[in-house]
Structure 1
Amino acid sequence: MQRDDLTAAELRVLVAVAGEGSLSGAAVRLDLTQPAVSHALRSAERKIGAVLFRRGRHGARPTAAGETVVGHARRVLAMMDVMRAEAHHADGGQATGTLRVAAFRSAAFHLLPAALVRFGHRHPKVTVDVRIVADLGRGIAGEVLDGHAEIGVLGLPAQVEGLVYGELFDEPYVMAYPAGHPDPRSLPLINWHENCSADTRRWLAGQDWIPAGSMTVRDDGVVVSMVDHGLGVAIVPRLTVAGAPARVSAMDLTGDAPLRRVGYAVTREMAASTLVRDLVAALRATVPRALAAADGRRGPSGHGPRDAR
């Protein structure tokens, strides 16, 4: 029995309609007529056997089935691009195309640049598209599962099933404080919960030496800026203070201080990709240098907060 599979053109229409929120917007994006987009959408729905979009005066919105199908469509189209790129590479040429990466801010700033230099030496014709995504909830893993990225750099453990995860490195949490301050513990705490696991939150809640919080921010770059201006201290992963201004120092936490596990996430079909494997190898090779840069922010004592009196 012959299967009535969706075509690549139909997959692109589904992704475009979801991205633009209307058939007319998808038509402009794909350089097609609106009737052609409408026909492709109806054909896809017939082949799938479900309504994928609710059409109305305000555009087209995916149904629950549509959300699922569009996520798969993005991943299939990405696999087709990777297939083409790696075929060229296997045939003795250079891989081409785009590899999309989602990462939390400090990884994007302090880990990815050097890794991409290494990756670029091996694959000079591959374009890398980097998106900074908050590592909260589905966050980065959700971007990968939904087909917005081929690989995500994120904190582990992640909350999204259906992906392949690998560990890159562990890093300790440190206390960032205004350099030269005689008593950092007298300053208020700047709260920040991105990349903060449940175990870390429990540890923080059990530390009676940590000062009361005065503000909460969502971005660790903002945290560093607040500390730089003397507004408080913050408990952050070590990589966060890499490249921080000179007025920011970092103090090791003593005792059973938590670690942040940093890893990567890919779909099962992308796990064997040469491009993904080479990027993971480049990330692993870059880790020591990135962490060494973060170590350079340590305060002169290098002791834990109980010794900073």
Structure 2
Amino acid sequence: MKSFSNEDVRYRPDVIRMKWRMGMAYGIAIGLSFAAATWGLDGYQLSQAHGSHPWLKFIIGALICMTVGGAAGWLVARLEKTILALPIYLGVSLLFSWLTLALPFQIFPKVVALIDPETGSMLNYIFYENFSSRFAIAAAWVALFITLAGILQIPLTEPAAFSTSIFGRLMPLVVCAVIMFINGTIVDTLNNEPLRSAVQQLNQTIQFTVDHQGQEVDKALARTMRMSSLRSVLDVVDQPRQIIVGGYDPWLGQINVLVHFGEAWVDCVVVYNQPSFCQYAKQGTP
């Protein structure tokens, strides 16, 4: 009976194909976990705050990151050289870093304009020159984490390809997912969090105002909840609403937040998470 050495087994066609599939799955896990932390959590929180199109960034980001990550993982597995994983995943990190800026500030408004022309026509998204510093910070963080995940690919997936247990085969995916999820939560604070917080704070003010309509509210509490910011649009605040960022300044400190109350559009200015004032944004409103 013919026996096979470890080297013989490694180069069996079925084992090679398994390692390629593991590499692709590893890369897909990198992309999905990064997208989930960067835009998925953002989407969930926006959906809880009456956000308009809350999951759009996650869907777009996940599709791109999973595709690119899967291709990178497959290529690294195909080449079977850990040293080549470094330049491959550094290239992936540049794309991921670019997406952290391009997706919320350039891609998102264009896609919204395609699928929801009325809302898209209200958006005024500008890609400011100083955003390059945000890209540099994002690129540094993403490169650090994705390089770690990339270097670990072959050492983790090689044994997994020979594993007979589900746990053994899933372990590399769990490890890289944890690494990239942490990375995504860090990157989220750079660009998504300032926009999301403005929406959340305004929604909180609106909900508080609706809940206390016709009631006497303590003046100190009213100031804390910024109820005065809605004074000029009280006629519509009790209508169903959808909230979306309409514009922002170069430092993401002053955010213009649009609220679609039924048929009325309201433009609110939120300064460092403090609703300042609101006014009707379109003719034909009450």
Q: Which has the higher strand share?
A: 1
TM over 0.5: no
Q: Which has the higher helix share?
A: 2
Tell me the TM-score normalized by structure 2: 0.23
